[in-house]
Structure 1
């Protein structure tokens, strides 16, 4: 695999993580041959992945970390993961927002990244259950009041509800607010996505709120980096058949891309070539 010797560290680590998850474990000497890099480079990569909490180092190699389906990391913990992938996804997804449209953004660190790019789209009406996402727009509006106003600043509606560890507002109050609304497009962050479980989250109340979001949207665009593929949370809230487009990053394996392209109308691989699933505009 000599073509991979000059891969950026993050791309190389994505390949290692995919290999660990697919095979259930790998050895250092296997990775050095596969990636055509030094033993020390592989060990540094494994150290970095272990610090992210996605693998566990064992003697001579690594195995995947199997989290409880009810485990829900906090916003700050998730913010530190896959930063460049989230930026690539956010830029690609922002191009799908039409000026003057009504959109919804669920909670999550990827939708938080997306919110920053949506500031450039004029005259949006944005409904969100994410405190962090709402803060992005409100901060821009405060800057505008100080003389730096962007044309066509968004109208932002923040639902009420009970705050989760990821700073989303969920529960009956949020559900009731969303039930009466209609969105042109929903940008949806997820904890996990798989063929069998569809879209899932470890939080039961968040699952119900996300279900309401999906029901209220004409188009559903899932924004999820490659590490979310194959992850399953406690509660499923939507089938893959309910998703119009998945925007992910170039770290997604070729096998997964082929599988997704057969199941979804649209697949956008940000930061890399789009798959056969097509790209929504």
Structure 2
């Protein structure tokens, strides 16, 4: 395959998926790691993609805010694995804040099996999923605010409500994770509300698949030292795992199927 053909395939994959990793391209195109990195550098110089750690994302990734529906179609298997592992960290009878986003929503689906929870969320989808008038065990508290493309309620109303709340654990989905930029989102108001969620929680559990690593959104939510635990999937590369460990974050790698989660 000619370099031009490879680069067209890479550009198409990035456009369709939002981002792709070097390791995925090596396996698919049967060329060396160095060849793929040169292709990505060529595309990045032309402004077609943005080069990030371990792969490439859309050139406008920092300000792009995909809808909930679009994001729900990305990495569904990994999100399910992450959700099962994260839900296993939640004890019956505890209080849990769940942010907006497709991975956090996947965790909420698993939390339906955990009894006597009090859930605080700024996601109408999560609230609708968990609310059951016949279930006397669960208590759902929904914030107010302005709705974003990712179906988060954000803004002063949400932030004020969260300033009076205290929960045991926060399940936080993010747009991107980077050593320098920390946890990021393309939405400035959502960053503020997510910071309010972090302040309300004793323990912060970030749920993010491997494609989020190296992605930098427009606004920083928090630096990595504010994260207690990161739950991700097995495709996160070793260099990224090492960097996360250096930041003092407890890394949990979700395993396939029903086996126990792997340590980072």
TM range (shorter): 0.7 to 0.9
Q: Do the aligned partners of 2:20 and 2:56 also contact (CA within 8 Å) in 1?
A: no
Match among 219, 223, 232 for residue 239 of structure 1: 223
TM-score (normalizing by structure 1): 0.74
Give CA-to-partner distance per residue, 1:148-187, whole Å, 9 cap, x none. Answer: x5xx631101100000001110000000010011110100
Is 1:101 aligned with 2:104? Answer: no
Residue by residue over 1:173-219, the C-alpha shift from the partner in whole angstroms, topping out at 9 and shown as x without a partner, is: 00001001111010000001100000111101000000011111110
Structure 1 residues 27, 103: CA separation in 2 closer, same or farther (over 3 Å shift)? closer
Q: Could you tell me which residue of structure 1 aligns to residue 244 of structure 2?
A: 260
Deviation at 1:232, TM superposition (A): 0.7
Q: Equivalent residue for 2:117?
A: 124
Question: In 2, distance between residues paired with 1:230 and 1:212?
Answer: 24
Instruction: Give the equivalent residue in structure 1 for 2:30.
Output: 32
Q: Which residue does the alignment assign to 1:44?
A: none
Give the CA deviation at 1:34. 5.1
What residue is the counterpart of 1:224 in the other structure? 208
Q: 2:186 aligns with which of 196, 202, 209?
A: 202
Rounded Cα–Cα distance in structure 2 between residues aligned with 1:63 and 1:228:
11
Unaligned runs of 5+ in 2: 1-16, 34-47, 50-54
Stretches of structure 1 that go unaligned for 5 or more consecutive residues are 1-13, 36-54, 57-61, 277-281
TM-score (norm 2): 0.78
Whether the 8 Å CA contact 2:96–2:169 is kept in 1: the answer is yes
Structure 1 residue runs of 4 or more that deviate by more than 6 Å after TM superposition: none
Aligned residues: CA RMSD:
2.5
Q: Are the aligned partners of 2:177 and 2:184 in contact in 1 as well (CA < 8 Å)?
A: yes
Asked if 1:19 corresponds to 2:3, the answer is no
For residues 1-281 of structure 1, the aligned pairs below 5 Å read: 17-19=20-22, 31-33=29-31, 64-138=57-131, 141=132, 145=134, 153-271=137-255, 274-276=262-264
Structure 1, residues 238-262: CA drift from partner, whole Å, max 9, x if none? 0100000000001111211121122
Distance of 1:63 and 1:210 partners within structure 2? 26
Indicate how the Cα distance of structure 1 residues 111 and 27 shifts in structure 2: closer, same or farther if over 3 A, else same.
Answer: closer
Contact 1:261 / 1:275 at 8 angstroms: preserved in 2?
no
